[in-house]
Amino acid sequence: MATKAALREQILTQLNKMDQATYEKRSQVIAEQLFQEKMWQNATTIGITIARFPEIATQAIIKQAWQDGKVVSIPETDNKTKSMQFRVYEDGDELCKKALGLYEPLESAAVVPKTKVDLLIVPGVLFRTDGYRIGFGAGFYDRYLDGYQGATISLCYPEQITTTFKPEPHDLPVQKLVIENNLK
């Protein structure tokens, strides 16, 4: 069985071949599917990343959340402690680019307690249909999910679904996968 690192590299190489127009179209299809989910409709505060290619684009999702009157929060990571917290992100807020190349909120943005995030949209590279995932390798979400009580969803392309990895004891599954063109 291939290592998580090898599987991660393999799928990212495949996804990175996608052209921009295809990427935008596929991300929009997945976003529209997300908006049909009860977890989305019932949430008042969401946790979501500012995605980077080839992750499912999140800007349209964030804009829809604002239009729906939801509080949007994005993660702030601490590489020293390997921890993460979410901070409020409002239209027009300035972001800073961190060590991992992710755009994160400024420290002046209000912290959103873990108990206040209704829906966490959890990024990942590979997924099993039972919700277990291989992330990007830093472990921030694995640590954050420990003790998190809200709803969890991951967005993915069909080619990100696999059965070729076994979850580790610290891995926690997401409750729902929103798979492109799969309205289960």
Has 7 been labeled as part of a binding site? yes
Task: Give yes or no for a contact between 31 and 61, defined as CB atoms under 8 angstroms apart.
Answer: yes
**Distant-in-sequence, close-in-space partners of 67: CB < 8 Å, separation ≥ 6:** none
Residue 21 marked ligand-binding: no
On the 0-12 / 13-18 / 19+ scale of CB atoms within 10 A, 37 is: middle
Residue type, 130: D
126 is in an annotated binding site: no
Consult the annotation and say whether 32 binds a ligand: no
Please indicate if the annotation marks 53 as binding a ligand.
Answer: no
Check the annotation: does 136 bind a ligand.
yes
Q: Is 43 annotated as a binding residue?
A: no
Residue 5, annotated as binding a ligand: yes
Residue 134 marked ligand-binding: yes
121 is in an annotated binding site: no
**Is 92 a known ligand-binding residue?**
no
138 is in an annotated binding site: yes
- What DSSP assignment string belongs to 144-166? HHTT--SEEEEEE-GGGB-S---
Q: Is 6 annotated as a binding residue?
A: yes
> Annotated binding residues for ATP, as ranges?
4-8, 133-141
> Annotated binding residues, as ranges?
4-8, 50, 55, 133-141
> Annotated binding residues for substrate, as ranges?
50, 55
